Amino acid sequence: MDGLTIRETDGQGNNRTAGEASSLAIAFAQAGATAGQMAPAQYFRIVVELLKRGAGKLLVVGAGRDTRLYALANQGGTTVVLEHNAEWAKAVEGLACKVVPVTYTTRLEQGFVRPCPLPGGLPSWVLAKAWDVILVDGPEGYSPDSPGRQQSVLLAAKLAREGTTIFLHDCERPAEKLFAANYLKKPDEVYGEVRALAVFHYTAEDVAERDRRLKPVEGPGSKFKVPSSRSEEVGPKSKVQGPRTVVSGVSGEITGGPAGSGTPNGLLTRSVRATVRDLSAPLKVFVLGVPHTQTNRAFSTCPFTIKAWNQCRMLKRRGHEVIHIGVEGSDPECTENVAAISRGEWSALYDHPGTKFYTTKTDGPFAEYQKLYAARVRAAIDARVSQPWEAIVSCTWGDAQIGATRGLNQFVVESGIGYRHTWAKYRVFVSYAWMHFHYGKEGKHAGNGWYDVVIPNEIDPELFGWKDGRLEACPTKGDEFLFMGRLNDDKGVALAIDVAKRVGRRIAIVGQGDPARFLKGNPHARYLPPADVEGRRKLMAEAAAFFCPTHYVEPLGNVALEAQASGTPVICTDWGGFTETVLHGVTGFRCRTMEQFVWAAKNIERIDPAACRRWVLDNFSTERVGQMFEEYFQMLLDLAGDGWYAERPDRQQLDWLARRYPAGRG
């Protein structure tokens, strides 16, 4: 800090030294802390950078109370503020800065927008100027309807030159993490854990890498050199449109796929595409709903239905073209919603008004319906593809979906295998335990399962927890334990009731089936029928503990994740998917003897509800699992080009298998 001075006065004829400016930063932060301002160390870091530059070119995205500080630290230089809120723009008038009004078209609830435009209203001189420091602290990104910072982070990335320093505030938030991972280099420094500040110093190599990944800023006076295209797309570009519903009138029998072998095989390359796929282009994904339900939250007790519903939502929000095909009345978030089966055709066989129970039968009177579903789904897919191997077809079920995709020259994926019999070439298992179960069953000991992957079922944070899913204030935990699931012996219902009796606690039994034999002689247990979305939220959030004492090898155990997402610890058996979903001693207890179950029940208050929810949000949320599917689907599409050896020169991270653990693990 010694020797650094601000070149101009403060307006009253007094020179300010760097030390004084730093003191001002600290005092300013302390005074504004209650208003959500930055921490003193963060202001200090920004001020130091500005003082080092000495009257440099500073671009600030987002006006605020701290604009005065930045203008002071950059006296004698050029300070420009981009602001979309007229009130904030007016509030900083008169300071030593120029305010440029801009507009934003994105909304945080859209997820990652592709393609993403720059902020509207940018003058050409803003795009042409060589900025020394760029600070991204706007626009607001704290609610679903706020603009979010995708456009401003993209702008900062495109404006960076050799020697530019970019500051990104709130870099720990999921949205900012996503935007930074796609547009910026790896941060060189990070200050703080909550409302954190990331610092990015750009070298010539960083700029060159940026130019390989992003198109340059376009506009008069732009000093960017337009790089040559790295790849060439085959066929028309996917157009992302608003949701539309189509009721198909196609009928007929199931037919085979197009002639020819077609499917890319293992490590072999194919000539359908000669170059690496443009990773900035949206994926084209067909998500097939199950034939026995509508793809909506009313069937939240069917994991295969919710798999389709969630997959549509998470991929659409990541900017991809998502086409859902299923039963009329489905309402997933997607690009196009195709009703292959009418509501009347479905309800004549499967609908059970008033209970939302469902059957999965496929024989007898259901057989013709299954054939009709398969034929119409296939026709809908064929009408929406123009070449082989351009799309992913995500199957959440078997039976009719097998018929619909037989011989189809697209990448057909079983996207959530938690059952015993698999059928597709490309397989997604819900846990490593279940994948290894299948490998043993198949005698697959030699490996080579390069395109078998593990991606767990996703949990929508909005459906669990409290205060609209946010863990802000845990409701008062009741004294009652909770079991929720099918009322079968192998689910461990009797064991859960017995443990509760031994520790003198009440237990609620919720699920589909006859509870009479479990309740007999157990006055401490009560039965509730299957609950709707809000009912599940309340029961799970208020339970003292959640029991999953499954006797068989549970493929994953979705309900255990839902309980933890609700801030409720889990008591379960120590095998199957639970070994990957329940952190022993941190988010619950895994047990093998009655003594262990009883001890866990007596000591369940040792588990922190916040740790339970954080574990699920960080590792099993729709946002996190969406990233995993995106990586896997890209792997498959690479098979249509250079196959297993396809290169990704623009890769910035390999986080799709990373896990984050709450404090206290182990």
Average pLDDT over residues 280-295: 92
Among 279-283, 289-293, 392-396, 435-439, the minimum mean pLDDT is found in 279-283
* CB-CB contact of 426 with 280 (8 Å): no
Q: What percent of the chain has pLDDT over 90?
A: 56
Inform me whether the pLDDT recorded for 455 exceeds 60.
yes
The half-sphere exposure of 9 on its side-chain side, counting CA atoms within 13 A, is: 4
pLDDT of residue 611: 93
Inform me whether the pLDDT recorded for 466 exceeds 70.
no
Secondary structure of 493-519 in HEC code, one letter for each residue: HHHHHHHHHHCCCCEEEECCCCCHHHH
pLDDT of residue 355: 43
pLDDT of residue 475: 59
Does residue 484 or residue 649 have the better pLDDT? 484
Residue-wise pLDDT tens digits, 215-227: 433 332 222 222 2
pLDDT of residue 446: 77
Residue-wise pLDDT tens digits, 219-267: 322 222 222 322 222 222 333 333 433 433 333 332 333 222 233 333 3
Read off φ and ψ for residue 289, nearest 5 degrees: -75, 160
Among 73-87, 225-239, 267-281, 333-347, the minimum mean pLDDT is found in 225-239
Average pLDDT over residues 80-106: 90
Residue-wise pLDDT tens digits, 548-584: 999 999 999 999 999 999 999 999 999 999 999 999 9
According to DSSP, the residues that pair with 61 across neighbouring strands are 82, 136
Other CB atoms within 10 Å distance of the CB of residue 45: 19
pLDDT of residue 554: 95
pLDDT of residue 559: 94
pLDDT of residue 576: 97
pLDDT of residue 237: 31
Q: Give the integer Cα–Cα distance in Å for 3 and 7.
A: 12
Tokens of 32: 């504004």
Read off φ and ψ for residue 155, nearest 5 degrees: -60, -45
First to last CA, the chain: 44
Average pLDDT over residues 577-592: 98
pLDDT of residue 23: 57
Residue 94: is it exposed, middle or buried by C-beta count within 10 angstroms (0-12/13-18/19+)?
exposed
pLDDT of residue 12: 38
Average pLDDT over residues 607-627: 93
- Binning pLDDT at 50, 70 and 90, where does residue 617 land? very high
Tokens of 17: 């030294």
The most confident of the ranges 142-151, 266-275, 489-498, 647-656 is 489-498
From residue 114, how far is each of 118, 239, 318 by CA, in Å?
12, 10, 8
What angle (nearest 5°) sits at the alpha carbon of residue 232, between those of residues 159 and 318?
Answer: 60
pLDDT of residue 246: 40
pLDDT of residue 133: 97
Q: Give the integer Cα–Cα distance in Å for 461 and 463.
A: 5
Average pLDDT over residues 405-416: 95
Average pLDDT, the chain: 82
pLDDT of residue 431: 97
